Amino acid sequence: MREFIKLTLRASFRGPLAYWLWLAFLFAWVILGSVAWGYQLTHGLRVTNMTDEVSWGAYIANFTFLVGIAAAAVMLVIPAYIYRDESVGEALVFGELMAIAAVVMCFLFLMVDLGRPERVWHLLPVVGLFHWPASLLCWDVIAVGGYLVLNLYLVTRLLYRRFRGGEPHACVAPTPKAGPLIYVTIVWAISIHTVTAFLYSGLGGRPYWNAAIVAPHFIASAFASGTALMIVTLALLRTRLGMQASAAATGRLRQIAAVSMWINLFLFASELFSTLYAGAGHAAAVRYRLFGLDGHWALVPYTWLGIVLEIYGTLVLVIPALYRRVPLLVSGCVAVVVGVWVEKGMGLVVPGFVPTPLGETVDYSPSFAEFCISAGIWAAGALLYTLMVKAAVPVHLGQLRARPAPVATATSA
């Protein structure tokens, strides 16, 4: 294991000039985000555009979206481990690494959203004043933190078995020790986004979120955006690092993303009908999101942009003449990812606060500080994922192997 860690770390920091320029670009954004967070720590959350009326903004929107990206890794675990689909097994490592990077970004977004980040240790079981089981946030910390540990173990096991000389298809065969953890991971992945949905739907005073459809809608959109992002990642790995994922792997991911997007759009349409036609309690929030309310329409362009992108991405994923062209397939997957981010990000968080309990409509858009901090966290996640993938690709391709143990020779007396 010591040799494995040493060689993979060395591989992470070796590459051509373009690779180092990419790392420098990401690191510059991390520095900018860190400086902006320092400014926020000095002056408080008043440097953001969040208010007493709209107390959740870009940070929680990104957190919600990234939990879904992390949960989508289970859509690779199920066919690879349960059905022994070797084509999906080729992409499993990179899906697990994406889940790790996404969870790390989730915790960073929670950190910057806290007004008193020095008290974050209270979110740690045993160490702090962990208000479990009453607090849903504590449930979310357990779910997301446990999922991070499970993914770290599984991806390390996959790569280490390959590093020791195992064949790629053998890496997805569960050992007696890891077998039970596979089933735990599957349930856990679904639970992390379910618990996150419960954070919203459990707020009875916010009728826009207080609906049973929130959890299944979260799951469907997560599986769509996560698998679509995985397709884009595999395309980049193929062009930049020579990682040739099979057409079968991309095809299976496309099928998962297409079905998930249909379900996501159906749930979205069902919510619109039940809200606007019946005039439900959160109809004002939906009208604000789609058409504006009382002269306030800050979210309307983003909402319709997200809807158009989701429809375009869905059509690309289901029409053979479109998805057989790789550039179009990649553009459709990018449209799905951005569209779901708009839907589950600003389109979910902000309308939940409109109108206020006093009947007021308050617009919200991220401040420059929020943009810089958010961009810095995304850059940190991309930097972490880049370093992990740079180490994983040569191991997965069999180019980085453990050195054979020296053979002892018998000496004659």
Higher pLDDT, 243 or 297: 297
d(CA 346, CA 339): 11
**How many Cα atoms sit within 13 Å of 86 on the Cβ side?**
4
- Whether 319 contacts 203, CB under 8 Å: no
Higher pLDDT, 402 or 285: 285
d(CA 374, CA 357): 29
Helical residues (DSSP H) of 124-177, grouped into ranges: 136-163
d(CA 161, CA 153): 12
Q: What is the mean pLDDT of residues 50-62?
A: 88
Q: What is the mean pLDDT of residues 34-53?
A: 90
- Whether 341 contacts 27, CB under 8 Å: no
Q: Which two tokens stand for residue 276?
A: 């606007």
Name the amino acid, one letter, at 44. Answer: G
d(CA 228, CA 256): 9
Whole-number pLDDT of residue 412: 44
- Whether 362 contacts 50, CB under 8 Å: no
Q: What is the mean pLDDT of residues 388-398?
A: 81
Whole-number pLDDT of residue 30: 96
3-state secondary structure of 128: coil
Q: What is the mean pLDDT of residues 210-217?
A: 85
Non-local (6+) Cβ contacts of 284 within 8 A are: 293, 354, 355
d(CA 113, CA 369): 12
For residue 253, pLDDT over 50 is answered with yes
Listed range (151-165, 255-269, 324-338) with the worst mean pLDDT? 151-165
Complete domains list, the chain, with CATH: 2-396 (1.20.1630.10)
Burial class (CB in 10 A: 0-12, 13-18, 19+), 354: buried
Q: What is the mean pLDDT of residues 290-316?
A: 88
Whole-number pLDDT of residue 36: 95
Residue with tokens 């979260």: 218
pLDDT band at 284 (very low <50, low <70, confident <90, very high): confident
- Whether 281 contacts 207, CB under 8 Å: yes
What is the overall mean pLDDT for the chain? 82
pLDDT band at 245 (very low <50, low <70, confident <90, very high): low
What are 372-388's pLDDT values in tens digits? 999 999 999 999 999 99
